[in-house]
Structure 1
Amino acid sequence: MRAFRSSLIGLALLAAPVVQAQTPLGAPAPDAARIAAARPVVDKIFPAGTYRRMMDGTLSKMMDGMMDGVMKMPIAQLARIGGVPQDKLAGLNESSMEQISAIIDPNFRQRTKVGMDAMMASMVDLMDGFEPKVRDALTRAYARKFDGRQLSELEAFFRTPTGDLYARQSMMMFMDPEIMSEMQAFMPEMMKKMPDMAAKAEAATKSLPPPRKIADLSQEERGRLAKLLGVKASDLHDGAATHDEGTK
């Protein structure tokens, strides 16, 4: 399951270059002329099928590298990331998940890879369907950031041999082995720092009041909450909530 979470993080990093293309809330839409001028520019830098080219094979290899890093991490470090208190980790040595799984589940690594590859195939199909919306959003972003003259200059540059090569490779550069190597190294490093990051987040929110319990809610609030959850108000009580959380 942790491997699948890593895969999703990788996908989020992959999508980062175009996420900012979403229209900001309240921002005026660019005029039709600039949209028309931006479209051929986006057609060059983000042609149809870009996500598939970025994700096919390359992302799977990146996830393999990330998983290898996680498998070699000491169990104590993984437990600390999972929120196990430091005093409970005293007896854990430097054994890794890789060493333990070799005994408990010799097929764990292969099972994880096969599962991740299947998930990646589904994600490629999903991104194919999502891509037209991204292209439209990217077109609006270019129309907002560049005026008509600048967009014409970009299009003219993309008609040159160097410009054409740059346009075709600009998005694919994020999947270059040099970039992939750094992204693979990022995941274990982030996991090492996760306990400290979680502690800082907890400290930052310490001054806020704790979440209310069911018993703290008014009758009207209980009714609204029950309606949102699709249950009866009488079914809401703190004991049930605590039990459910403990079984997750």
Structure 2
Amino acid sequence: MIRKFTLPLTVLAMTATLNAPTQVFAQETEAEAEASEATDAELAKFLEIFKVEDDGAPIEPDQLARAETVAVKLLPDGSYQKMMAETMSTVIEPMLGSIDQMPLSAITTFAGISEDEISPPDDATIKDLMEIVDPHFADRQQAMFKSVFDILIELSDEVEPAIRDGLAKAYARRFTGEELDDISTFLSTDTGAKFGAESLAVYSSREVIGASMEVMPKFLERFLGQMQNAEELMGDIPPQRTYGDLSELEKKRLAQLLGVDVEDLGPRETGQGDYETEAEPES
């Protein structure tokens, strides 16, 4: 039986990425290249927000050395690969069963019909449809997933030293030299060494991931509830303006700031014989 179902947001996001036709990437136009450069520039601006500036308080070399000893024990070599392996077994592999199935919407789009128009027999399955529409869909999904995971594993070797360096500086500022020595002494014991080796991977364990997933429906329910009360949340904040709300002086200033003529602004032809119009004001 063909069922229509809703996947978790994470699965939908990953499916959208993996479902992108391979040929699209081989046909990048000049316009797409420019758009890609613009996206990269926007990403750089976004990352700049999180850039950590030196607070001007130098860390004593001895203090940093003690903290580095702790960081190495808390994040030993291979910690990120271990975490990725945990993530693969607890999160990714269970997802594969859903992602290996072609979305019904993609199949109906292929056939040139909407989901609302179909009435499949009870014994029809998505697998039956995939054998006709795209028999190698699952193979490509698996190959793409493996490729992405391999990249993450490779990057972990580059990420780990940087994270370890950040940990050392953070611990150096948050603990005294004596406290760092106490922590290091504990991490040098058999129990402490095991604790350090597991301290990162435990966040990818079935128990922690499961607990996070239990909370997610409550979060989404509350979030969506808040969004339904958007007008109330905005309070006295005016709604977004339209071009028609601008005064002539504001239109001229906008054109000046954009480096265009004021005549070039405003509603324009969409390319289909129609014109974009302002939203009708609510009565």
TM-score bracket for this pair, using the shorter chain length = 0.5 to 0.7
1:176 to 198, 201, 205: 205
Question: 1:44 deviation in Å?
Answer: 0.7
Higher relative contact order (CA 8 A, sep 6+): 1
Alignment match, 2:213 = 186
Question: Cα distance, 1:40 vs. partner?
Answer: 0.6
Q: What residue ranges of structure 2 are gaps of 5+ in the alignment?
A: 1-8, 16-49, 106-114, 120-124, 273-283
Asked if the contact 2:73–2:197 (Cα under 8 Å) also holds between the matched residues in 1, the reply is yes
Structure number with bigger Rg: 2
The alignment's C-alpha RMSD in Å is 4.8
Matched-pair contact (CA < 8 Å) for 1:42–1:135: yes
Shift of residue 155, structure 1, vs aligned partner: 0.8
TM-score by length of 1: 0.59
Letter in 1 for 2:223: M
1:237 to partner: Cα distance: 4.7
> Which of 69, 83, 95 is the aligned partner of 1:40?
69
Shift of 1:164: 1.6
- The offset of 1:108, in angstroms, is 3.7
Residue 45 of structure 1 deviates from its aligned partner by 0.8
Q: How does 1:18-33 map to 2 (within 5 A)?
A: 29=57, 31-32=59-60, 33=62
Question: Which is helix-richer, 1 or 2?
Answer: 1
- Judged with a 3 Å threshold, the aligned counterparts in structure 2 of structure 1 residues 69 and 36 are, in CA distance, closer, same or farther, namely same
Conserved in 1, the CA contact under 8 Å of 2:67 and 2:168? yes
Is 1:214–1:222's contact at 8 Å kept on the other side of the alignment?
no
Structure 1 unpaired stretches of 5+: 8-21, 77-88, 94-98, 244-248
The alpha-carbon distance between structure 1 residues 58 and 163, as it changes in their structure 2 partners (threshold 3 A), is closer
Whole-Å separation in 2 of the counterparts to 1:197 and 1:112:
31
The Cα of 1:222 is off from its aligned counterpart by 4.3
Residue 128 of structure 1 deviates from its aligned partner by 2.9
User: Is the counterpart of residue 5 in structure 1 residue 13 in structure 2?
Assistant: yes
Report the alpha carbon displacement of residue 26 of structure 1 after superposing the two structures with TM: 7.7
Do structure 1's residue 59 and structure 2's residue 97 form an aligned pair?
Answer: no
Q: Within 5 Å, which residues of 2 pair with 1:154-233?
A: 154-180=183-209, 182=210, 186=213, 190=216, 194=220, 197-204=223-230, 207=234, 208-214=237-243, 216=246, 218-224=251-257, 226=258
